[in-house]
Each structure stands twice: as C-alpha cells, then as structure tokens.
Structure 1
C-alpha cells in the first residue's frame, strides 16, 4: 500500500531550537513539514469543520499562476460551494481519509491516491462523510481559455489507475504519473506525480518558464534549487518561480516521490499583468 505524508498540526516543544530548514529566496522557497503547525493554518468562508495550510498563492515578482493548500476536514466538515472564483479550475489530490465530491448531482467517494480535476464554474461541493479526518491538496488556477478550445472535462481518477510513464533511457528509475492527457491542449495546468527509485536522478538543471509547486509525498531526496543543494523529505513543499534551475536525486533507501504542479500549453502574454 502506498502511503502519503500529511501534516497533523500541533506545536513543537518550547525546548526546540529556533533553527530549521525553511528557506525563501528570490528564485524558490522551501517550507519544511515541521513548519506546518496549528498557528499557521487558515480558515475560509463557506467551509465548516475545516482548516488549511496555504503553501502557495500568486505573488508578484515570484510565482504568479497558482494557489496550493493542504485542506484538513473533520468528520462532517466541508463546503457546499468551495470555489468563490468562477474562473478558477482546480485539482484535488487526497492524501488521508475519505472525501466526497459532488458534481452534477453525483457523489463520488475519494480515497488516498485519488485525484479530481474540476473545470471552472462547475459548481462542485466537498464533504468528509467518513469517521476520521480527511486531508487533501487543493490546487487552484485561474483558467486561461484558448481560441477554438473549450474548458477541459472533469476528471476523476486514481494513482492506482494510471501507469507511470518512464522517462527515456532511465530504465524506469525516473517516471511520471500523469492525471491528464499531455496532448489535450484544453488543459493549461498539469498535476502529476514524479517517481524516482533509489538512485534515480534528474541529471540536468532544468531551466524553463513553467512555475512549480512540489510536495514530497514519500521518501527523501536532495534537490538542486538555483545555486543550492537542499535536502528534502516527505511532507516538505518546494515553490519554484519561472526559470529557477532545478535537478534532484533520490537520497534514501526507498522511493522519492512528489506531487508536482506546473502551468502548460499557453503562449506567453506579451504585456505585463
């Protein structure tokens, strides 16, 4: 069974040192799992029995395309209209507990490893019908329409239903689990899982226009971020602005896996926003 790290909150003891692994630079940020305590959670209008750790939001001069939140729902918690922005699309990835998503009158039960893509203005609702706490990633982006293409259809799938795509010449040591078809140009964001077996490596410093959110689901690794090598482990989040050089290798006895957001499939705008 695959397990996914999820924050539990709480507070560190008063005896802990103040030093830690949190980093914020002009090119990237690292939010270690130990930072996700009770005092940095947010609550949101329209939600009951819920709180969230806001990992990323559009920020001028940094990453500007997306928001990523780890939501925590108590039994019975949820929202009848979670999305206030009619232009927002979202991806939901469940890491713990049970989550019910209702769309067009049909309720779907989501379990750890399940993923949903919900297009703009689709009017979905979410509720925890289980007996335990539910935790999930809620990734939101303002959808950018493309001429001649409509918005994508909803997607309900699971990691267990998607065969990872091995990267060329890696013998499967590096693969990607893709929840949306890469050739479907209606999508302007992709949420995937990157899988690195022990010893697997991204062997060059990627430098590109896409922004990234990377949440480590499992294992540990060493990530090259701009000029720095940074150790990360399950529960850590990395936030990368456009053109930040990046590479990594799996640094432990087990797999190193992370949930990845990136913006895709649109021509760059020629005027600054």
Structure 2
C-alpha cells in the first residue's frame, strides 16, 4: 500500500493583504466549502468535549444537507470527551486525518492513527481522548439511524485505510477505485462512508444522477468536478455537498492521486412526508 497523506485543517487567519474572493459556492443543489474557509473565526465548540474545537461543514438544514452532519474535529493534547455522542439514536463514523486518538467502545480501547476508521452504532456509548503531544484531527460524520423491523442493528467496525484493499471499478484499468469499510450487501447499514481514489487521468465518464445525498471531503490531490451545470476546481481540504439527484462527474488532474472521503445514505425506502 502506497503511503497516504491526508489534508488536515490547522485554522489560523488570512493576512489582511489577501484578496477576499475565493471559490466558496452555495446553491440549491450543491455547495463548495474550500479549505480556506476553515479559519479560527469559523470554529465551534461542543458540550462535554475538553480542549476541542471543530468546523461544522454539513448539518441538517432546509436547502442543504438533509440526512447527515459532518464535523472536522481538532482535539488538543489531553483533550477529548467521556460522552462522545449525547443524542439517542445517532450513529457515527470517525476518520482520522492527523495525529492519533484513543477510542473506548464496548469496554475495549483502540488506537486510531492517521487513516484510522471507526463505525459507531447508535445507542453505543463511547469516549475519545488524545494521549499524544500534538493536536489530533479527525472527521466525525453523524446520522440518525433508521431501524427496520426484522433487521438487526449493525456492529461496531474498527479499521483503517491501510487495512482495506480498494475495489477497482470495472474497465478503468485501476484509475478509479473505492475503499469500502462496510460490506455493501449488509443491509443493516443505512449509510456508507468510503474513500474514492482516482489516479491521474481517471474520470467519472458520465453525469451521475441518483437518489443518494453526498458529502465529499478532498483528502489528497486536485480535480475538476462537475456539480449540476458547473465545472468547479477542487483540491485537498475542500468539502462538497451534493443534494439528491444533483448531476456529478469528475476529471482527476494529477500529478498525484485524487482522493476523497465520501458519505452517502443507502439501503432504505424513500421517506414520505407526513400528510397534511
């Protein structure tokens, strides 16, 4: 496995001499939050999390993300929480992009370094600490779990980018592959968080238009991404939100791999709105 790099926000402030015009876009069908929007002034804080700040890059909101929230977490040395998730019924995924964290779940402790992955089922209490000397940075994706009568609940998963062999898309000569931490045939899961990798020159050769809502955080590299009717340049540290049925396609620009952390909702009936 080739050694991977993962973009991790460090905050800070731009110089007063910098131009304010950037690549941030917010539309009814997609949004782009460039890495440069994640500054000290845009951080948030959470109850029961010590020495921790975060960037909220997606949240349930009319006209924006509907099925999930996503945070970029920064936990200082010794920081963390003994009450990781406080909302009943919410499942989560953690993916580490910088430093390391100690995750305690079901009476066991796991050390997650860069590329570390954890699926945290709804109803499972867990805690997290940074035992290192440097800040730890990770993505925390949260979703309200949708149980199905007669279908069991998913188990915790502890894994890493390095442990999973990417699955190549057919007829792409390895230019397009997906790292799957969850078996796609396991219908207990109602969300998938994967890593998509394009080698230089790799493409999504048609306009994908489908029911899944997406969150895409660029871990490495750069590309030109088709979002609805627009072609947008993106690079490591940028985040994209795509609503359901937003057309999308991609050209990987090189010179190295283009990789992103991908969220999508799966395996459930389309919900009907309550009758008025």
**SS of the residue 2:31 aligns to:** strand
| Residue 19 (structure 1) aligned to one of 21, 46, 53 | 21
- Of the three residues 55, 60, 84, the one matched with 2:62 is 60
Alpha-carbon distance in structure 1 between the residues aligned to 2:57 and 2:88: 22
The number of residues matched between the two structures is 273
Within a 5 Å distance, the mapping from 1:119-134 to structure 2 comes to 119-134=121-136
Helix, strand or coil: the match of 1:39? helix
SS at match of 2:76: strand
Q: SS of the counterpart of 2:36?
A: helix
Name the residue aligned to 1:253: 255
In structure 1, the partner of 2:150 is: 148
* Residue 219 (structure 1) aligned with residue 221 (structure 2): yes
Kindly indicate whether the alpha-carbon contact (under 8 Å) linking 1:63 and 1:242 is maintained by their aligned counterparts in 2. no
| 5+ long unaligned stretches in structure 1 | none
1:138, distance to aligned residue in structure 2 (A): 0.1
How far 1:62 sits from its partner (Å)? 2.8
Structure 2 counterpart SS, 1:52: strand
Q: Secondary structure, in 3 states, of the residue corresponding to 1:160?
A: helix
- Contact 1:164–1:176, Cα closer than 8 Å, also in 2: yes
C-alpha separation in 1, matches of 2:231 and 2:202:
16
What does residue range 9-88 of structure 1 map to in structure 2 within 5 Å? 9-88=11-90
Contact 2:83 2:127 in 1 (8 A): yes
Which residue matches 2:138? Answer: 136
Describe the SS at the equivalent of 1:76: strand
Residue in 2 that maps onto 1:117: 119
1:212-237, Cα deviation, whole Å (9 max, x unpaired): 00000000000000000000000000
How many angstroms does 1:61 deviate by? 3.1
Q: Give, in whole Å, the separation in 1 of the partners of 2:115 and 2:64.
A: 30
Asked if structure 2 preserves the Cα contact closer than 8 Å seen for 1:216 and 1:258, the reply is yes
Tell me what 1:204 maps to. 206
Give the Cα separation in 2 of the matches to 1:145 and 1:223: 34
Structure 2 unaligned residues grouped into runs of 5+? none
Closer/same/farther in 2, CA of residues 54 and 174 from structure 1, 3 Å limit:
same
- 2:162 match: secondary structure: helix
Tell me what 1:104 maps to: 106
TM-score when scaled to structure 1? 0.98
Taking only aligned residues, the RMSD between alpha carbons, in angstroms, comes to 0.9
CA distance in 2, matches of 1:18, 1:158: 37
Deviation of 1:196 after TM superposition, in Å, equals 0.2
